[in-house]
């Protein structure tokens, strides 16, 4: 059984880590019957009336449960993990929804709404229905981003992987075939629609972050030369958000 675990608002402007890192650390707290499928960063609306720590993003952990009976243990471990790593001044939230949950369609719709407009805790709770949604400090506004992260990830067409297999250990330059053996599809964004060949080389610039497209990890590339490509995107510096009362935050 696949489950989606959303984390949001665990840090503050002086933090040495963001919510994405806290989400990645959760792999160590999974019971032995579980397998981490990936961790995604989801971008929410950036608006002058929405305060956030850096970029107003949330994180979702995708987990495969061989034994559905451990779901309650996973939820308890996630709550404890969130409380252990959330920093002073944050408003952490947790959302856990299984793939077959009746409310998943509403959570997906809610996730898309969070990319377009300001939403409330009440709307998040209504969308979650009987699924797990809990606040763990401060104003509990993190439940908004946590639910949104689950919904956007479950849609299969949003976010970028910040953990997938061992992508952080891959070399900066590797063959297309190596990426595809790691279950990452390589897709060109070149206007002339060239198709990367298995023996072509991809330069990741030390920052490989596949997108979630069609329910799978997709590496977007642009051409550098004959048989040579570079991945799209690069790491950016952390910036500060607004200081007004939090509505949903990173």
Q: How far apart are CA 49 and CA 68, in angstroms?
A: 41
**Domain residue ranges in the chain:** 2-161, 165-231
Tens digit of each residue's pLDDT (9 = 90 or more) over 203-236: 999 999 999 999 999 999 999 999 999 999 887 6
Tens digit of each residue's pLDDT (9 = 90 or more) over 68-127: 999 999 999 999 999 999 888 888 999 999 999 999 999 999 999 999 999 999 999 999
Residues 139-151 as b or e (16 or more Cβ within 10 Å = b) = bbbbbbbbbbbbb
Q: 0.85 exceeded by the pTM?
A: yes
pLDDT at 54: 55
Q: How far apart are CA 78 and CA 68, in angstroms?
A: 16
CATH number for the segment(s) 2-161: 3.30.70.2200
Residue 228: Cβ within 10 Å count: 14
Q: How far apart are CA 18 and CA 250, in angstroms?
A: 8
Residues 159, 42 contacting (CB under 8 angstroms):
yes
- Cα angle 94, 125, 6 (rounded to 5 degrees) comes to 25
Better-predicted residue by pLDDT, 99 or 9: 99
DSSP 3-state of 184: strand
Of 2-6, 51-55, 209-213, 243-247, least confident by mean pLDDT is 243-247
Of 13-27, 109-123, 172-186, 193-207, least confident by mean pLDDT is 13-27
């Amino acid at each position: 059984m696949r489950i989606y675990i959303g984390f949001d608002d665990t840090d503050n402007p002086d933090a040495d880590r963001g919510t994405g890192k806290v989400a990645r650390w959760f792999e160590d707290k999974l019971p032995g019957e579980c397998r981490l499928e990936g961790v995604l960063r989801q971008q929410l609306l950036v608006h002058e009336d929405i305060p956030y720590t850096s970029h107003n993003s949330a994180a979702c952990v995708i987990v495969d449960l061989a034994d559905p009976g451990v779901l309650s243990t996973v939820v308890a471990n996630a709550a404890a993990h969130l409380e252990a790593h959330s920093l002073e001044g944050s408003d952490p939230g947790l959302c856990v929804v299984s793939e077959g949950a009746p409310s998943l369609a509403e959570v997906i719709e809610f996730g898309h709404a969070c990319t377009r407009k300001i939403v409330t805790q009440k709307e998040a709770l209504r969308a979650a229905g009987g699924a797990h949604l809990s606040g763990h400090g401060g104003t509990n506004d993190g439940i908004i981003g946590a639910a949104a992260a689950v919904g956007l990830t479950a849609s299969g067409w949003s976010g970028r992987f910040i953990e997938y297999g061992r992508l952080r250990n891959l070399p900066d330059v590797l063959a297309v075939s190596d990426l595809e053996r790691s279950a990452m599809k390589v897709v060109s964004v070149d206007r002339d629609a060239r198709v990367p060949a298995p023996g072509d080389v991809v330069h990741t610039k030390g920052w490989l972050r596949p997108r979630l497209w069609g329910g799978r990890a997709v590496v977007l590339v642009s051409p550098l030369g004959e048989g040579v490509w570079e991945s799209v995107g690069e790491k950016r510096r952390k910036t500060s958000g607004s200081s007004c009362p939090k509505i949903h935050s990173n």
